[in-house]
Amino acid sequence: MTSTGHRKSTEAVVKRRVWDVPTRLFHWTLVVLVALAWWSAEYHEDDLHLYFGYGILSLLIFRIGWGIFGSSTARFSSFVPHPASVHRYVRDRFHWPTAGHAPLGALSVVALLVMLFVMVGTGLFALDEDGLFGGPLAYLVSIPASDLARELHEQLFNLLLALIALHVAAILLYRLVLGRNLLGPMITGKAKLAPDVQPMRPGKWWVALLALAAGIAITRWIIAGAPPFGS
């Protein structure tokens, strides 16, 4: 879901970095954890489902930190789109002069991140219908509230699946219709950029580690039911 600024001209193109290591690790770990969370829910692996959820929450908190203090292409300020920029991007036939998320792809990224936060948020307060297992914060709310959280958690998963399908379909369309490879850069981190395209400004590795540590710490804090998440 990116524009690599590729142009159909004979200009010299060079492979340059567009996605840093933390962003790529985040992306693929998230893919694996969401798949595992889905599997564990379908097969009633209750304990595992909670752990996968905690893993996703840690990653999401990391991503917030990396979205504020990370590399230029990972920063929300660089990609959270304005309606005008989406319009301009479509009008300009999907040309985007900066390395990183193009406006349409950015919309998809924001939607996916928000959806994942909603899923984790409802999961934290949900109880399964037999009262056998539940999110670590369920005991802080009434049983009808937990039932509602479970309903939302189950129903909204379909919306998340739809967004994931759209994400994958768009990548295929870019490949097949526009001839742009978006998958490769998310694996190798590098893409062919025209010389006039603004490259990525990398973030600091220790900032990434700090963001990850914060993600794990805050998640553990929530699980432990520490204030303000507990009695």
Contacting positions for another protein (CB under 8 A): 44, 127, 129-134, 136, 138-139, 143, 146, 154-155, 225, 231
- The answer to whether the CB of 35 falls within 8 A of the CB of 161 is no
**If you search the block for the tokens 């690790």, which residue do you land on?**
25
Task: Name the residue nearer to another protein (CB basis): 53 or 70.
Answer: 53
For residue 211, the Cα-to-chain-centroid distance in whole angstroms is 15
Min CB(50)–another protein separation in Å:
12
CA distance 93 to 193: 17
Write b or e for each residue in 108-121: b if 16 or more Cβ atoms lie within 10 A of its Cβ, otherwise e.
Answer: bbeebbebbbebbb
Task: Name the residue nearer to another protein (CB basis): 155 or 188.
Answer: 155
Min CB(51)–another protein separation in Å:
17
Min CB(58)–another protein separation in Å:
21
- The answer to whether the CB of 60 falls within 8 A of the CB of 117 is yes
- The answer to whether the CB of 230 falls within 8 A of the CB of 224 is yes
**Residues near 59 by Cβ (< 8 Å), separated by ≥ 6?**
26, 29, 30, 33, 215
Min CB(88)–another protein separation in Å:
36
Min CB(141)–another protein separation in Å:
9
Task: Name the residue nearer to another protein (CB basis): 33 or 127.
Answer: 127
Write b or e for each residue in 192-201: b if 16 or more Cβ atoms lie within 10 A of its Cβ, otherwise e.
Answer: bbbeebebbe
Min CB(54)–another protein separation in Å:
15
Task: Name the residue nearer to another protein (CB basis): 37 or 138.
Answer: 138
Strand, helix or coil for residue 144? helix
Task: Name the residue nearer to another protein (CB basis): 11 or 47.
Answer: 47
Task: Name the residue nearer to another protein (CB basis): 11 or 130.
Answer: 130
